[in-house]
Structure 1
Amino acid sequence: MARPRAIDRATILDAAEQVVLRDGAARLTLDAVAVVAGISKASVIYDYKTKQALIQAVVERWIAGWGERLDKATEPYIDGDDARLRGRIDVARDYKEEEDGAVVFQLCSAMTQDEQLRQTMNEGFRQELGKMLSSTKNPDKALLALLAIEGMSILQMFGVVEWQPEQREKILSGIEQLITQD
């Protein structure tokens, strides 16, 4: 009988995110991840043969987590119009710098140098856009609203603007008005 796996992949990915936050994606090393995870480098290599494979796994996990977060935020609106977009607005209201900003910022820098990462992020966004547009009666308004939300979020993520909670709420309320007006 095979010995049960002692090292959870989530532990390695958590450690990789910590290294990305601390050092940046460009400086992530398998050695650094092993140290943070408290395991051997060989254990990291066993699951993720290369740095790029490890970053790819972090991106894929982040996309999946983001989708789950949106699914949960969408639940209260599931029987109404613009359910996914309303869920996205609620997620934007609950902005968490560490979850929504810092790691993504670092992963975006890695994405500029890796076509496969760009494809993964692009596919994740296309799938989410498809879900959002399929749950609306007015795709043009929904797209405009999504672009406004993403623009607001990206400006904060890249440190261009630090939205205060009341500013964020005013913007998101305006976006809600946009999608509810005929």
Structure 2
Amino acid sequence: MSSPTTRDNIIDAAMAVVREQGVGKLTLDAAAKVAGLSKGGVLYHFKSKDDLIRGMIQRMIDSCDALHMEYYEHEAAGPYRWARTVVRTAFDPRGPAGDPIGGALLAAVTVNPDLLAPIHAKFAEWIDRVKSDSPNPSLAALICMAMDGYVFERMLNLPISDPDLYGRIQQTALDLLK
């Protein structure tokens, strides 16, 4: 595995700022300070705060996609393999539901909806994957939408579901995909 680049270190620093202080405190200066760089060093890699947020969003997308691929490789072949992968990823603590930064980034994109473009593109790809091996695309879509709801519930720290139910919810979703 290659060592982190300066760009990666800046994204790590920005994510640390958001996790510790909230998205409202994210500035290029704050990211530079945590990364141990000058503001000019950050500006070399990110021309604006929006560019930095795009980098953070891309990092989250890439991380989630890598987790999908990890589960896909271990998931039994057959119908609904991608949908089962989505279920397992949704409940993995390394996934998007396990990182409080996701909710903060969602708040950031409400200010600038153009920042959602990479998320839209990746979701379209994920939807195509799920459709590719689903004998009943409506069932697969329903399960995936439920997983999105679970992920957003956790990202936004909404007290909708009882945490004791999460394991049963996951198993029910997998049972429906048999």
TM-score normalised per structure 1: 0.87
Q: Which residue of 1 aligns with 2:165?
A: 167
**Aligned 1:80-159 pairs, distance under 5 A:** 80-96=78-94, 100-159=98-157
Q: Secondary structure at the match of 2:100?
A: helix
- How much does 1:93 deviate? 2.9
Q: Which residue of 1 aligns with 2:46?
A: 48
Structure 2 Cα separation of the partners of residues 46 and 92 of structure 1: 35
Structure 2 Cα separation of the partners of residues 97 and 82 of structure 1: 20
Provide Cα deviations, 1:60-102, integer angstroms capped at 9, x if missing partner: 1211111111011111226222111111222233235886341
Percent identity of the aligned residues? 27
RMSD in angstroms over aligned alpha carbons? 2.0
Query: Gaps (5+ residues) in structure 2?
Result: none
Structure 1 Cα separation of the partners of residues 55 and 94 of structure 2: 22
Q: Which residue of 2 aligns with 1:3?
A: none
Contact 2:103/2:156, CA 8 A, preserved across alignment? yes
User: Which structure would you say has the larger Rg?
Assistant: 1
Structure 2 Cα separation of the partners of residues 163 and 21 of structure 1: 24
TM-score normalised per structure 2: 0.88
Contact 1:83/1:135, CA 8 A, preserved across alignment? yes
Q: Which amino acid aligns with 1:87?
A: T
Relative distance call for 1:82 and 1:97 in structure 2 (3 A) is: closer
Q: Which amino acid aligns with 2:111?
A: Q
Structure 2 Cα separation of the partners of residues 97 and 72 of structure 1: 12
